[in-house]
Structure 1
Amino acid sequence: MINFSQRLVKRHKLLLALLASGLLAGCASQLDVNQQQLDLAQFVDSSQIATQLTGASEVNWWQQLQSAQLDQLVDDALTMNHDLKTSQLELQSAFARLGAQRAAYLPQGDLAASANRASIDSNITRQSSGVVDLDWQLDLFGRITALVDAANAGALSQAQQLRALQVEVVSSVVKGYVSFQGNLQKQRIIELQIEALRQSIDVLKARVEEGVASELDLNRTYAQLKQQQALLPAISYAQYRDLSTLAVLTGRLASDIQIVNDEQVFSLPFKVQLQKASDAMALRPDISSALYQFSQAYSLSVAASKALLPEISLSSFAGVLSVGNNRLDNSVKQWQVAPRIEWSLLSYPALLAQRDAQQYLSEAAYSAYQSQVLKALSESELSLQLLVKQSEQLNFADARYNYANKAFKQAEAMYQEGQIPYLELLDARQDVLIAQENAVDSTIASLQAKVSAYQAFNGRWSYELVNL
């Protein structure tokens, strides 16, 4: 289905061409984020990742399970999760800082009014004044614009981090729900086996007293009973662990969350389909966040370079001064406009060092962006490989259970006819139990592999979460 090694050389060349295009940004005053995302989408198209999954839209993919409980848990998590609330507040703070940075385009200043009364050698004097003081730094060389671009990129990066956290929360809720329902199924299987073994023990006790069966058969049956009973505490703990995970994700305590048995999640068709794999990859929030962080570092590098140029500003003030009273009566008007140019020539060594430091940080952010793209591609390939592996294992597990169940029914009939001893019947029952538990585990693993695939290809559906 997927042959990663056959495409590795081709993808490596395409990826180098894609990432090398970011180096051309050094000639521009601002990084073209949209072009970078478009180049990445074209690269994903060329690499033909997940082309076999092309189909229906993946938006709200968890609704394929048709579980009202799961849908409610996802909604609760998106509205009540405390980590999401924290990230949302941090995003609001980032946009507030962006607003503060944009205000640097406008004149800055203050309004002051004062009055004083003094006595020198019994001679009392009074004075009052009112002043408007303004300072306007002209952005002739683009330093303020670069700082605004950096603040904007930082806010957008924070927005992408929030979206990445939403992906993690939704995926964890679905995985936790599937795990909980799977543990309920395993508990039911174990309880059925315990009941069957107890019935067998009652029959064997009577047969031992009649001399038809041996103590060995009875003791082996007791041993299997205790083995199954020993599994129940672990299953109960696993269920509580899943409940606790879901409770934290939805901002509650484990005692406040109630989930009932929902067997249909294992019987309904649940397919992994992507409307457009290139968008699902190129729009991933972790890649977008790394790209915006690179854009932020690049803009700060531009601002550090602009700091080497002169700063031109206009300073002015206007006010009134009244001598002899504290009520601004009989005041004298005064004003002043003063253009000013400042060039920190004596600070050039420090400014050059700061520019170099920021350029290194820009290169580091670009390297981090490259790394994130590679990690995302690797994660997507691994998720597809896992999807194939779990699908194959599920088929084998189901076939194993069917054969084990047939063998048990045959052993049961042969035992009734006296063709095999009771211990062989116990072995056949143990085989079908193990096979049934393995089939449930494989079903859970297959569902969670599909969730992991949606988690890896999250670009489109995670954008829809922002509009919920």
Structure 2
Amino acid sequence: MTKLMQKRVTRQLSACAVLVTALLTGCASKIDIEAQQRAINDFVANANIAGQLSGADESNWWQQLDSAQLNELVADALVNNLDLQTSQLTLKSALARIGAEQAQYLPQGGVNIGAQRSGLGDTNTRQATANGAVDWQLDVFGRISALVDAANASAMSQAEQLRLLQIEVVSGVVKGFVSYQGNVAKQRIIALQIDALQQSIAVLQARVDEGVASELDLNRTMAQLRQQQTLLPAIEYAKYRDLSTLAVLTGRLAQNVAITDEQLILQRDFSVSLSEPNQAIALRPDISRALYNFSQTNSLSVAATKALLPDISLSGFAGVVSLGSNGFSDTQQQWQVAPQLQWSILSYPALLAQRDAQQFLSQAAYSDYQQVVLRALNESELSLQHLVNQAQQKRFAEQRYNFANNAFLQAQAMYQEGQIPYLELLDARQDALIAQENAVDLTISSLLAKVNTYQSFNGRWSYALSNTNQ
């Protein structure tokens, strides 16, 4: 991004901060989520990040790789991932707490039935009672409403956390699968080189024995063989690491993850295309979650402020009492209605401190919300820069391999004609090998950069994914 573009984005971001602050001024019991979302949409639209990637819809973007194995792994992960299951249960708990807070609008109470028998000297008494008691706290000043708003915001925040986890799981599965296939490709290249070096050693040993070649050629070839052989354990570990990653994401053990070789995945046309890039940023779950967290702390701050005001409630009971009997054969009715006003004046210092503490938390949540927006924008911009960078490196690496391979073929022909010594042929072969490994590495890096871009611009496809899995 040029300096001019950076200055433009900085100015727009500052304008967005002013707009958000204005929207929050004088807010009552809860944050206007819709107004906040519109502000974010407008700001990102003005920034116009990734407009060059506008195109097809990005839902189920990993299916572009046309791999049945990968599609099955993604589906398994969305069903069996333990982190997702934990988050789903936590969301259900948060939804249940909404009902608990809403129940405070209704009268509270219960029914009590009892009987007793007592004696004092020669006098025995019996009594039976049955009554129902009701206590109804009137939400005159809106404290209960603020607590309900906080519970709603908490549930929405947890829903966004679930969506965030789904993004991480899907992206992690695709990265692990691509990395595994890349390591298989590198292992094949190394195996071919080891085989070629072993054949060369057999030929050289025979020529050394005949006195035609020197031991220098043989020893250098043996050294290159050992160099390639030392790479095999690292490749095996990398493959196991990829399997272990996929195992954790799909809720199973690594030994139960079976992936077949699918090298065509490294050659398929996998491009980044976003239907609405601006919306893909604005709808990111980390932004939405930070906004709901701010809304929750703001509502709790309002509730703490309302706690400074009197509590007005209406209590009463109605029942029957039977004197001289443990049954209800001879009863008398009794009832009572008692309006109450309770004001914790002596607790004011503690209530004021609680209010101040909650207001500071609300301000902290707002600062965090702004930081999340900034981080999301910079992360999206960085992913685009990385995408372009990896594409350029991949193109140069492929050109390098083509030149190195042509040079090796030429050296091979020249060696057979006796024009160059064997060591030059060996060097040309090594150059071609290194270039081929580098090309594979950058092919993998380019694919992972595309996955990272989809992971950064996740707002729309993650919503579609959440709706599909509900």
Deviates more, 1:418-427 or 1:29-38: 29-38
**Aligned residue for 2:393?**
393
Q: Matches of 1:295 and 1:198 in 2, distance apart?
A: 68
Matches within 5 A, 1:356-435: 356-435=356-435
Name the amino acid aligned to 1:67: S
> Are the equivalent residues in 2 in contact too, given 1:287–1:373 (CA < 8 A)?
yes
* Structure-2 residue corresponding to 1:28: 27
Matches within 5 A, 1:62-77: 62-77=62-77
Per-residue CA deviation, residues 157-182 of structure 1 (Å, 9 max, x unaligned), is 11111111111111111111111000
| Partner AA of 1:199 in structure 2 | Q
SS in 1 for 2:420: coil
Count of paired positions: 466
Q: Secondary structure at the match of 2:264?
A: helix
Distance 1:302 1:169 in 2: 37
Q: Which amino acid aligns with 2:5?
A: R
Shift >4 Å, 4+ stretches: none
Inter-partner Cα distance in structure 2 for 1:362 and 1:22:
15
> Structure 2 counterpart of 1:193, which letter?
Q
Q: CA offset at residue 88 of structure 1?
A: 1.1
The residue aligned with 2:310 is: 310
SS at match of 2:268: coil
Secondary structure of 1:268's aligned partner: coil
Secondary structure at the residue paired with 1:381? helix
Q: Give the counterpart letter for 1:14 in structure 2.
A: Q
For residues 214 and 84 of structure 1, the distance between their equivalents in structure 2, rounded to whole angstroms, comes to 64
Aligned mates of 1:159, 1:286 — CA distance in 2: 11
Matching residue's letter, 1:25: L
Q: Identity of counterpart residues, as a percentage? A: 63
Residue 132 of structure 1 aligns to a residue whose secondary structure is strand
Cross-structure match for 2:148? 148
- The alpha-carbon distance between structure 1 residues 36 and 431, as it changes in their structure 2 partners (threshold 3 A), is same
TM-score (norm 1): 0.97
The match for 2:321 is 321
Separation in 1 of the partners of 2:439 and 2:275?
A: 31
CA distance in 1, matches of 2:19, 2:346: 37
Q: Distance in 1 between matches of 2:112 and 2:25?
A: 45
**Partner residue in 2 for 1:283:** 283
Change over 3 Å in CA distance of 1:353–1:182 after alignment to 2: same
Give the partner amino acid of 1:20.
V
Alignment of 1:42-81 (within 5 A): 42-81=42-81
Q: Secondary structure at the match of 2:113?
A: strand
**Secondary structure, in 3 states, of the residue corresponding to 2:166?**
helix
- Partners of 1:107 and 1:401 lie apart in 2 by 78
Instruction: Show CA shifts across 1:353-377 (max 9, x none).
Output: 2222211111110000001101111
Conserved 8 A contact 1:44-1:277: no
* Unaligned stretches of 5+ residues in structure 1: none
Q: Secondary structure at the match of 2:410?
A: helix
Paired residues of 1:117 and 1:126 also in contact (CA < 8 A): yes
Pairs within 5 Å for 1:325-364: 325-364=325-364
Runs of 5+ unmatched residues, structure 2: none
Deviations along 1:44-65, one digit per CA (max 9) or x if unpaired, are 1100101011111111111100
Q: Separation in 2 of the partners of 1:119 and 1:384?
A: 88
Is residue 168 of structure 1 aligned with residue 168 of structure 2? yes
What one-letter code is carried by the residue in structure 2 that aligns with 1:22?
V
RMSD: 1.2
Residue 6 of structure 1 is matched in structure 2 by: 4
Q: Distance in 2 between matches of 1:26 and 1:307?
A: 22
Quick one: distance in 2 between partners of 1:383 and 1:352? 46
Residue 129 (1) aligns with residue 111 (2): no
Q: Cα deviation per residue 1:277-297 (whole Å; 9 max; x = unaligned)? A: 121111111111100000001
Q: Distance in 1 between matches of 2:25 and 2:311?
A: 23
- Residue 159 of structure 1 is matched in structure 2 by 159
Given that 1:308 and 1:351 are in contact with CA atoms closer than 8 Å, whether structure 2 keeps it comes out as: yes
The answer (yes or no) to whether the contact 1:42–1:278 under 8 Å persists in 2 is no
What is the aligned partner in structure 2 of residue 117 from structure 1?
117
Q: Secondary structure at the match of 1:27?
A: coil
Kept in 1: contact 2:173–2:246 (CA 8 A): yes
> 1:123 & 1:341 partners in 2: Cα distance?
42
Partner SS, residue 309 of structure 2: coil
Q: Which moved more, 1:207-216 or 1:382-391?
A: 207-216
1:139 Cα deviation after fit: 1.1
Matches of 1:40 and 1:18 in 2, distance apart? 8
Secondary structure in structure 1 of the residue aligned to 2:8: helix
The answer on whether the counterparts of 2:20 and 2:39 sit within 8 Å (CA) in structure 1 is no
**SS at 2:137 equivalent:** strand
Shift of 1:18: 2.1
Equivalent positions of 1:89-100 (< 5 A) are 89-100=89-100
